[in-house]
Structure 1
Amino acid sequence: MKRIPIWSWIIFILGMIYFFLPLISVFEFSLRKIRGIYSFEAYRLAFIDPRFYQNFGLSLFWSVLTITISLLLILPTAYWVHLRMPRWRPVVEFFTLMPFVVPAVVLVFGMARLYARVSFMVELPVLLIAGYVVLSFPYMYRSVDAGLRAIDVRTLTEAAQSLGAGWRVILLQIILPNLRVAILSGVFLTFAIVMGEFTFASLLSWPAFGPYMEEIGAMVAYTPQALSVVSFLITWACIGAIQRLARGAPELLAGTR
Structure 2
Amino acid sequence: MSTILETQAEASTARRALQRVKEHLSARSFLAAGQWAVTLLICAFLIVPVVMSILAGLTVNYFRGVSSGLTLRWLGEVWTQYHGSVFLSLEIAVATLAITLVIGVPAGYALARSKTRASRIVEELLVLPIALPGLASALALLVLYGGFTAFRTSAMFIVVGHVLFTLPFMVRAVAAVASSADLRTLEEGAASLGATFRQRFVTIVLPNVRPGIVAGALAVLTLSIGEFNLTWMLHTPDTKTLPVGLADTYASLRIEIGSAYTILFFLMTMPLLVAMQWLGVDATGQRRAGAKKRKPPRAS
- Which band: TM-score by shorter chain? 0.7 to 0.9
Q: 1-side partners of 2:51 and 2:227: how far apart?
A: 23
| Unpaired runs of at least 5, structure 2 | 1-24, 292-300
User: What is the TM-score when the length of structure 1 is the normalising length?
Assistant: 0.86
Q: Which residue of structure 2 lines up, in the alignment, with residue 43 of structure 1?
A: 75
Q: Which residue of structure 1 lines up, in the alignment, with residue 264 of structure 2?
A: 230
Q: Which residue of structure 2 lines up, in the alignment, with residue 29 of structure 1?
A: 56
Q: Which residue of structure 1 lines up, in the alignment, with residue 248 of structure 2?
A: 215
Q: Note the C-alpha offset of 1:134.
A: 1.4
Q: Note the C-alpha offset of 1:255.
A: 8.4
1:94 is matched with which residue: 124, 135, 151? 124
Q: Aligned pair in 2 of structure 1 residues 153, 12: CA closer, same or farther (>3 Å)?
A: same
Q: Which residue of structure 1 lines up, in the alignment, with residue 33 of structure 2?
A: 6
- In the TM superposition, what are the counterparts of 1:111-150 in structure 2 within 5 Å? 111-150=141-180
Deviation readout 1:9-66 (Å, 9 max, x if unpaired) = 221121012111211111121121367112232223323x1x4321111111111111
2:135 is matched with which residue: 100, 105, 120? 105
| Contact in 2 for aligned 1:201/1:211 (Cα 8 Å) | yes
| Contact in 2 for aligned 1:178/1:252 (Cα 8 Å) | no
Q: Which residue of structure 1 lines up, in the alignment, with residue 16 of structure 2?
A: none
Q: Aligned pair in 2 of structure 1 residues 73, 249: CA closer, same or farther (>3 Å)?
A: closer
2:88 corresponds to 1:58: yes
Q: 2-side partners of 1:139 and 1:234: how far apart?
A: 22
| Contact in 1 for aligned 2:173/2:216 (Cα 8 Å) | yes
Structural RMSD (CA): 2.6
Deviation readout 1:226-249 (Å, 9 max, x if unpaired) = 221332344443443343233334
Q: 1-side partners of 2:202 and 2:230: how far apart?
A: 33
Q: Aligned pair in 2 of structure 1 residues 8, 180: CA closer, same or farther (>3 Å)?
A: same
Q: Which has the larger radius of gyration?
A: 2
Tell me the SS of whatever aligns to 2:69: coil
Q: 2-side partners of 1:16 and 1:74: how far apart?
A: 34
| Unpaired runs of at least 5, structure 1 | none
Instruction: Name the count of aligned residue pairs.
Output: 255
| Contact in 1 for aligned 2:107/2:171 (Cα 8 Å) | no
| Contact in 2 for aligned 1:192/1:234 (Cα 8 Å) | no
Q: Which residue of structure 1 lines up, in the alignment, with residue 210 of structure 2?
A: 180
% identical aligned pairs: 23
Q: 2-side partners of 1:140 and 1:84: how far apart?
A: 17
| Contact in 2 for aligned 1:33/1:39 (Cα 8 Å) | yes
| 2:162 maps to amino acid | Y
Q: Note the C-alpha offset of 1:132.
A: 0.2
Q: Note the C-alpha offset of 1:88.
A: 5.0
Q: Aligned pair in 2 of structure 1 residues 73, 224: CA closer, same or farther (>3 Å)?
A: same
| Contact in 2 for aligned 1:143/1:185 (Cα 8 Å) | yes
Q: 1-side partners of 2:168 and 2:113: how far apart?
A: 20
